[in-house]
Amino acid sequence: MERRNNGGRPKAVERRSRHLNIRLTEAEYAKLRGTSGSLKISAYARRRLLGKTVSRSVPQINQLAWEELARTTANLNQLTLHANQGHFAHSEEFAQVLVRLSHTLKTVREGLIGGKHGHR
């Protein structure tokens, strides 16, 4: 009879068996703790030491605003689609306003999330 998977965390492909111990001043530790966000300090330090990207945590208020702007952007994209398909008359001025509005929304969203293209 085949043994069933009981769930839980999958086994690591390569077990971390090596230790790296460092000493920090209180100021260094506080800075590290402040920049690690929601990550454990060890996970944050490992990612930084190995040159991997570290996503920044986003304040809840910014996350809510980001989501609302995402809906607004989707609506703008639908308006643009309908305009381009000829569902309603539009002028060159209308098209330019849609483009400017799209760029403005993108800039605001990037400012809220703290980077380009949604990188956190």
The ranges assigned to domains in the chain are 9-54, 60-118
Q: What is the DSSP string of 37-49?
A: TTS-HHHHHHHHH
Q: Which residue reads 């002028």 in tokens?
A: 91
Residues 81-101: pLDDT tens digits? 877 787 777 677 777 888 888
- Alpha carbon of residue 28 to chain centroid: 26
From residue 88, alpha-carbon distances to 37, 40, 81, 92, 100 in Å are 48, 53, 11, 13, 19
d(CA 53, CA 23): 24
DSSP H or E run through 95: helix 92-113
| Conformational region of residue 67, where left means phi above 0, alpha means psi within -120 to 50, and beta covers everything else | alpha
Q: What is the pLDDT of residue 119?
A: 45
More confident residue, 10 or 47: 47
| pTM higher than 0.75 | no
